[in-house]
A and B are shown apart, each in its own frame.
Chain A
Amino acid sequence: MLNSISLFLGSGANIIWFMIVLPVAIGVVLWFLGKHYIPALILSLVSAAVNLLFAVSLYRSEGFYLVFPFSSCGLDIALNVYSFSSMFLLFIAAGFLLIILYSVVFLKEKNYAGCFMLYMYISLAMMNGAFMSDNLGVMLFFWEGLLCTLFGILLINNMHNPKTAVKALTLSGTADLLLMLGIIITAYQAGTLYISQMQKLPVSGISAFGFVCMMLGAIGKAGSMPFHSWIPNAADDAPTPFMVAFPAALEKFLGIYLTARIVMDIYDLQPGSGASIAVMTIGTLTIVLAVAMALIQKDMKRLLSYHAISQVGYMVLGIGTALPIGIVGGLFHMLNHVIYKSCLFMTAGSVEIQTGTTDLRKIGGLAKKMPVTAICFVISALAISGVPPLNGFFSKELVFDAALESNVVFYLGALLGAFMTAISFLKLGRAAFGGEYKLPSAKKYVRESSAGMFLPMGVLAVLCVLFGVANTLPLDGLLCPALGDTEVYSGWPHSTVLVLISIAVLLLSLGDHLYGSKKSGSALDAADHIHYAPVLKNIYNAAEKQLFDPYNWLMHVANGFSALCVFIERCITWLYDDGVVGIVKGAGTLLQRFNDGSLSRYLVVAITGVAGIIVLFLAII
């Protein structure tokens, strides 16, 4: 059956109808369904399942290449479904099914459910389109479509205070502008917009600039620094399903997909080259700085959002090495990250639904009342911390391996990130689920969330274990065939020394946590000794005041620029309103004063004119 579906999809324009138009149509229907819970649940589940079915069938097929000359100017809709892109279609479809189930349940009885669903399905359509596009210009269209839905969802709940939405739009928009510039340069250098026709461009001269622009755009979409700072704000404002869907899953897929395509297909990135080092530096900085911020957060969602940024660093670091092992590691880490980070956000949402808050100062000891949530949280927290044998451990080891091969500095940075990740999750887990049972004053009791919520969480937690224990499944089954890589990365990491170092780091972090919690007297404040360490204290204070937020820098620059513009505009206005008028009037008055009606003066002027003509004639002769 899968074969017949893939054949059906690959013929004519069906791929557009069913992968792009259909999700949008279903989104519109769901929009109209609005608060009707049961029909919305059924329709969304069925449609997401059908989408998954399509994706699976496309993944199983041999792929195809279609060009629809719907428009001119070199922007033909060229769709290229092949192993790598169909793998991402599969990822997104699978993730979407779980996310949509969680979202519908979470948003039950919420006014904005229909609207949220519409945006989600449009996002799905855009993602599908972006993954399939072979034409960079058309891909940019879908890419920007996702920016629109991002803006829309962020606005849903915050119509009257669109600060976060504007921030996200500005930062992502800047990243997209860079991407656009990069695409223009790349297309100019390559002479074509079709990725499949591009020879791998060398990263030098103008092309290097194009590479940097495209790369910044791509990793900016994934949430890497320096386009990250809207994500923690969104954690405060946006509905939790948004956090599950966008920063945790969809944008990671899309951003990392393009990053991988850039490194693999468009540019010829040499390991150890300047561009590679630059990308890796961004990755490492993202890991360390974002996790350092995560360390001191006292809110569950906010803490997780910083981790969503930090983890991108591993992927960028891995892919940035341009080594096969690094690319595989980065992609594997992306997959793992989507699994455990979605799971973590879902648990946060579960806690939020039950207790009404995610502020760690108000809750505690929830494990007894919400065992399933707690178990899912523990598994995914261990996975993100990189505890063997869960999936995060294996992908991190691959990235470590690649980083060490490039430069020991990056390896140490990544290790530092792992150390702090472990500390922060120990703190988070113990504060929320362990210790003394504590609820916000408004709530009297809590109970486990409904099946619709813990089903996706459970599936993801199981996947965490499965992809770790049987890591041959994703690595040898999915990634390596898609990348065309024949080397075997599955199984236990081949370097025992690195594993031992990683485990030592984990133990160290456990020790640090115990020391911290003993010193401060509570698990929640276990990281305070780092927070309030002599120099770090000042840096953290500054960071909390958003002094390091690139968005604020951007805004300062923008304010300066607008002040400059206002000044120039005033100058021009003055020039028009007063300057020119003054000059003209002054000249008129001067002439008028000179032309006072005296005949002799008239004659003088006329004779001067004759003299002028004589001079002119003499000059021309």
Chain B
Amino acid sequence: MQVIEYSAVLFFAVPLAILLINILFPKQLAEKFSIYLAGIAAITQIAASAAGFLLLSAYRLHEYEFSFWDMTNAGSVRFGVNTFSLVILFCIGLVSLASILVANRTVDKKRAGYVNLLMMLMLGMNGMVMVTDLFSLYVFLEIVGIASFVLIAMFKSDTGLEGAFKYLVMSILASIMILTGLSFIFMQTGSLQYAHVVGMNLLEGQSSPQLMLIYAAMTLMIAGFGIKTGAVPFHSWLPDAHQSANTAVSVLLSGIVIKVAGIYGFIVLTGLFSKLPAVNMALAIMGTVSIIIGALFALRQNHFKRIVAYSSVSQMGYILLGLSAGSILGLLGAVVHVFNHATFKSTLFTNAAAVHEQTGTYDIDEMGGLEKKMPVTGFSSLAAFMSTAGIPPFAGFWSKLLIIMALWDSGFQLFAAIALFASIFTAVYFLRLQKKVFFGKLLSKFAGLTEIGGSIKFAQIMLTVVTIATGLFFPFALLYLKGIGIL
């Protein structure tokens, strides 16, 4: 048992240690080597989460709770990991690694600053995933929020500042909403620990005003996490922020931050309040609207990163739909889609970075036929697109399938049909992107273009391999999950 605990401790200890080293080192040295330290942190995180996963299954456990200090006191706050949260921890490591690889090319100055904030971001996200108390969740959410918008703003482009500002305002709105919602729940329960909240039957024996209060709390928290997720109609900040940030940061934001800050909140919420049908219905409607509106937006954009950012809005809709099913199958579908989205969205942002590094532009109207000159970028982008669109046997197909199956089983047939139909939109806007950027005739000004090299190329290959491998081996993963009794 102790081994698991050690691997879990790593999630906090490593980012803190790297941060400490980074601060203590001389400035010049830190600028030079901090990026490698960050890489070590990300790899450690990947290894630790994988090890944790294996250990859990070795001990035939679904979850494991621990505390750093006093376990004996009943009221003390604990941390916990379970199978699903380990998948998300793995995603955090993977996307951070991708971001670091991209940053190696795109971030010239302020490397140390970037690494420091990345470490805090990782710490915050790890904390969010591992705490077992709603208020602690909120505290770590704040860390994630602050680290994110400073990461957007710190490179000091005008648009970056604007995006950061928009994010900041919306984020504060979200914080206030979540906090208010939490306080409402606290009024009813007197405790915010997951175990206590889920143990209390909030609906039975409550007078009507108290029920009103719970519903108000739900409304506020859904809206708050909705803002963090970037779901329609709370999406407006997302494209601005994700587009304007440095691409290395975009990878982080789109790849993992919106999922941990938003979707993980919803995972907790649906886990705790699964008895309220209105919660599921709200998530389902929000998800459906996000899928369609996000896709429509993506269809009309000309900025590479903006298309990909709107695609995130659309894909978050699928995850919300999966959660709205309220079944273990839906949760699985959502978590797998979180993983898949983390890989293919990181791939696409990495592609954007590669294209921008080589051509100097993000405008897809100014590109064309790049596939001939940049085969690795072209192929990885194609694989990511196919996965996003849910084309078998790519990874995205399986998660969408699980989500749609879960919706169907839960009686949301209409939403399942819409989700299925809206996949066409996904294909359309990414096909448009692919066509304009990678296919077609090579423009004469790109005659001397070369393939991106170095860390970005490595990131592309790594992520594409993960995408394809996930798709190919997913049936085995399902069998495994069935074997350990989760499905």
Contacts and interface: CB of A to CB of B under 8 A. Distances in A.
Contacts of A601: 236
A141 B290 CA distance: 56
Contact of B299 (A585, A597, A614, A616): A585
Contacts, number: 75
Given A588-B296, A588-B300, A621 B170 contact: no
Nearest to B226: A609
Contacts of B439: none
Contacts of B227: 606
Contacts of A609: 223, 226, 232-234
Interface stretch (B33-41, B116-124, B249-257, B275-283): B275-283
A614 B222 CA distance: 10
A412 interface: no
Contacts of B104: none
A584 interface: yes
A409 interface: no
Contacts of A610: 177, 219-220, 223
A26 to B, nearest CB: 54
A602 interface: yes
A614 B281 contact: no
Interface string A8-52: 000000000000000000000000000000000000000000000
Interface in B388-433: 425, 428
Interface string B192-223: 00000000000000000001000100111011
B187 interface: no
A159 interface: no
A562 interface: no
Interface in A570-621: 584-585, 587-589, 591-592, 595, 597, 599, 601-603, 605-606, 608-610, 612-614, 616-617, 620-621
The interface centre, meaning the residue of B233, B281, B299 with most chain A CB atoms within 10 A of its CB, is: B233
Instruction: From A585, A603, A609, A621, name the one whose CB has the most chain B CB atoms within 10 angstroms.
Output: A609
Contact of A620 (B232, B240, B277, B297): B277
B169 A599 contact: yes
Interface residues of A, number: 25
Contacts of A614: 219
Contact of A592 (B215, B234, B300): B300
Contact of A606 (B165, B220, B223, B240): B223
B285 interface: yes
B293 interface: yes
Interface in A192-243: none
B359 to A, nearest CB: 24
B414 to A, nearest CB: 15
B356 interface: no
A617 B286 CA distance: 13
Nearest to A616: B282
Contacts of A592: 297, 300-301
B166 interface: yes
Contacts of A591: 293, 296-297, 300
B154 interface: no
Contact of B297 (A588, A617, A621): A588
Contact of A602 (B170, B226, B282, B286): B170
B166 A602 contact: yes
A602 to B, nearest CB: 4
B173 interface: yes
Interface string B170-193: 100100010000000000000000
B55 to A, nearest CB: 40
B243 to A, nearest CB: 11
B237 interface: yes
A365 to B, nearest CB: 79
A580 to B, nearest CB: 10
A617 B215 contact: yes
B278 A602 contact: no
A107 to B, nearest CB: 59
Nearest to B218: A617
A307 to B, nearest CB: 63
Contact of A613 (B165, B223, B236, B299): B223
Interface of A: 584-585, 587-589, 591-592, 595, 597, 599, 601-603, 605-606, 608-610, 612-614, 616-617, 620-621
15 contacts: A585-B300, A592-B300, A599-B169, A601-B236, A603-B173, A609-B223, A609-B232, A609-B233, A610-B219, A610-B220, A613-B282, A613-B286, A616-B278, A616-B282, A621-B278
Which 3 A-B pairs have CB atoms at the shortest separation, nearest pair first? A602-B236, A588-B300, A609-B233
Interface of B: 165-166, 169-170, 173, 177, 211, 215, 218-220, 222-223, 226-227, 232-234, 236-237, 240, 277-278, 281-282, 285-286, 293, 296-297, 299-301, 425, 428
